[in-house]
Chain A
Amino acid sequence: MNDNFLDLAEITYLNSENSRFYRTENGFPAMEAVLPKRSDDLEANQDKTPVKQDFGRVFFHRCFPFETPDEYISVLDKDGREYAMIRNLNEMPEQAQEIIRAELDRKYLCPIIKKITSLKEKLGYSYWTVDTDRGVMSFSMHDTYRNIARVGGGMLIINDVDGNRYRINDVALLDRISFKKIELYL
């Protein structure tokens, strides 16, 4: 008998012993790991003994992209099936960290807004000009209030009309003028 229902589900975590990351010829991250053999869901008898395998290119997906971007990172195949999970990126070997971080930076593009220089609303659209960690950017938003996700802890994720995303780490820490501008949408 299991003490806890949840013990029935298993999460395989990767570490320096059971995995090794490298780059493919074309620069994509790839993984070699000791994991059970992959089998079709429909196969009757599934062998669960881990074997060392080269999986080739792998994909990453953050479980909590806003709250803990460095923790709980899922490693997936091209169809989105999970190989295993990285519990905390900082505990992985240097070389793996570098490869994974580079890939995460490639996948997740979200400029961080430092300052709002202009915010005007006209005909149901709002027009923004902001200073970000990637330079000055202007964008427009529709249905502004609903397209600002309040993630918690003062963090905002802003979705513009094109589908680009911007982040404000903590609205309370914005300068007074910027805050006055965005206040209406909080």
Chain B
Amino acid sequence: MKQKTSRPHFREFNPIRELVTKDTGLEKPYILSYNLSFDNKEVFGAVALCEDKLYIREGNSELKIIELSTLGEIKFVQQWGCISLETSNENGELELCRADMRFVNFFRAAARKFEAARLKKDIPDPVIPRCPKCGKPYPPGRTTCQKCTDKRKLFGRLIPYMKPNLKYLLLAALFLIAVSGISVVLPILNKAVINDYIAASPAPSDQSGFFLLIGGMAALGLLSAVAVMARRLLVARAAKDILIRLQSDVYRKIQELSLTGLNRRSSGELIQRVANDTEELREFITWLVPNLIQQALTLGTVAVLLLIMNWKLTILVILPVPFLVLMFRVLHKFTHKMYHRQWQVESDAGTLMHDVFSGMRVVKTYGTEKREEKRFDEAAKKIAQISKKNELTWNMIMPFASFLLSIGEYAVLYFLGRELVGDPSVITSGNANFALGDLMQFVSYVGLIYEPIRWMSFLPRRIARATTSLSKIVELLDEKNEMCLEGEILDDINGDIEFKNASFGYADAEYVLKNINLKIGKGEMVGFVGRSGVGKTTAANLVLRLYDLSEGSLTVDGKEIKTIDQHSYRSKIGVVLQETFLFNGTIYSNIAYAKPGATRDEVIRAAKLANAHEFIMRQPDGYNTYVGDKGHTLSGGERQRIAIARAILRNPRILILDEATSSLDTETEKQIQEAIALLSGGRTTIAIAHRLSTLRNATKIVVFEKGMIEEEGSHDELMRNQGRYYRLVMAQRQVNKMQK
């Protein structure tokens, strides 16, 4: 892994960095390293910022000094597998530098820094979070370095989860020791039975000891069974508690995370964290650790006992152990590969099925059932083929492997047995070092010692799996919420909103909104207009405070939004989004979601305002109609009306409607418009709409274009200006005419 990479990397010493630092004459200038030339050849390069100039050096070529004032906007450009910074000079567009994707965070940050310097603004040097140990920036979406986490500290994090069940766990440990102890004692009793009674000559006259021994063995066997049972019960109980604690902690953390933190992860990944990773840890605590203790205990005591009994033979027994361990490792790797492939094809087939079943309508309308059948057939055949091969190999290897395991026992039998067979007097006299009973005891111990060894050879992989799960969970639990949620608690708000020089970009990406200045007064209804992807929804999300601004300020009632308690603030906002999400539950519970403890009377009123009451009453179960996660039984417009009712029920001070009426027919939309107009008296409303007729009641229209506000004013003013809005209206009118 330490092999030299041909591509210059930021971790390696970059001689150009030193040179450029010297050039600027500054002690610690802001420097961006890069590793590709204009035509994508590997090269060492660096750009340094020195007041109002950029110093650029690349490979062996001469120092270039560029005055920032001669340049146009400096932007980050995403290529395909590489990135670059571009700007322009008197000759047109110009590339400053380029690099491969490892530099992406640095390039994005540098683009901002350089652009700020060009505009004579001084922003703090961007800090790219890196692992303090290896210096590598964290991979996207991570806040810890997987390679460098301290394993011991990591497992220490599990202790708090075990603590409340410590009593049970300790008790379980006690039983564990008991079971180990019994397994060691049993061969001793066995020996006594054989040596003192069965093989003894002359047979002892007093037989009572014989029955006592047999009885003792049976009793110990029973005790062992009881201990195993008790241990399992205790552990199962503790396990359940631990799992619940872990899961609820992880779940709570996920809920607390800001959207920025959540967007970095897919919902599949989050489910994985809550369900699978916690389960993996439960298994680790309740199964792996106790077994490890038990196996280690058995191994230790048996090894000591064997050494005491006959050290020469013991060495003979232990000699093949390293080979056995090696064999099991190899075997395991092999079978892992086998079963991994099987798992992979099975999951592929699963995906295929999921795909086809959820796309059944498409399959049917295009009449491709036969083709899909064939596709599935092929997948199923592939699974059958692989699993057949795997079973075959497994069944061929395993008996052989067990035989190899018992080879030590055969060796012991041979060496000890030879001694006994060669000299029958040993048996008859019973005085020799090794009697028949000793032989039996020794052989049982050899059997006992191999089991832990076999078990432990699988250990590294199991521990690795637990570590992976644990480190992912710990990372999530440790993630700092970048948004401060607490602050001044507001009983009520007026709804004056103001953006001042506000800019915003997701994570380090390019700005989605640039330098927005906008005042929305109390009770105003403002329409956000513009094509898709120009930042309308982002602006609304900022008002909702799903994200914090990157630069500038956003105030509500003159107070910086960041200083307001998020919970109290959000309770004053009602939102209807384009994508209506209905929870699994009844229509009633979905509307009442906005206001826990709402009366039935209130819910019905809200539904009536949202024009939903009528269609709800057409459902056989009325408000108790059950809607699934996607609300399959309802049409798009119906779902939207439920969402509107939900927002209305909240009696919000600020109402945000993001394409809230897009799925409604014109009639219904008009009715709801009127309801909203009534509702929005004294309430601030922000409405995003493509259909401009939706905004007929708006007091102000804001036209967005490329992350900036292009026009702002009332409908009449904008129509007079004949700008973008005018053209939009004209174009829509034309479409409407065509429809007529």
Residues of A at under 8 Å CB distance from B? 24-28, 40-44, 56-57, 65, 102, 105-110, 117-118, 120, 122-125, 127, 129, 134-138, 142, 145, 160-165, 183-184
Contact = CB atoms under 8 A, between A and B. Distances in A.
A124 B6 contact: no
A24 B92 contact: yes
A107 B92 contact: no
Contacts of B102: 162, 164
Given A26-B92, A123-B464, A184-B341, A106 B100 contact: no
Interface string B597-637: 00000000000000000000000000000000000000000
B42 A138 contact: no
Interface in B78-109: 79-82, 89, 91-95, 98, 100-102, 104
Contacts of B727: 40, 42-43
A42 B730 contact: yes
B81 A123 contact: no
B325 to A, nearest CB: 20
Given A107-B80, A162-B102, A123 B467 contact: yes
B344 interface: yes
Nearest to B471: A123
Contacts of A110: 80-81
Interface in B315-348: 337, 340-341, 344
Contacts of B730: 42, 44
11 contacts: A28-B95, A42-B728, A102-B39, A109-B100, A123-B464, A129-B3, A134-B42, A135-B5, A161-B140, A163-B104, A184-B340
Contacts of B98: 106
A156 B79 CA distance: 20
A125 B146 contact: yes
B189 to A, nearest CB: 46
Given A123-B467, A184-B337, 15 more contacts: A25-B91, A26-B94, A26-B95, A27-B95, A43-B727, A57-B92, A102-B39, A109-B40, A109-B79, A110-B81, A120-B1, A125-B147, A137-B7, A162-B104, A164-B102
B289 interface: no
A22 B7 CA distance: 31
B4 interface: yes
B139 interface: yes
A120 to B, nearest CB: 7
Contacts of A41: 731
A26 B88 CA distance: 9
B311 interface: no
Given A26-B89, A163-B104, A138 B3 contact: yes
B541 interface: no
A134 B337 contact: no
A134 B91 contact: no
A163 B80 contact: no
A123 B468 contact: yes
A166 B253 CA distance: 36
A138 B4 CA distance: 8
Nearest to A78: B93
Contacts of A57: 92-93
A122 B139 CA distance: 16
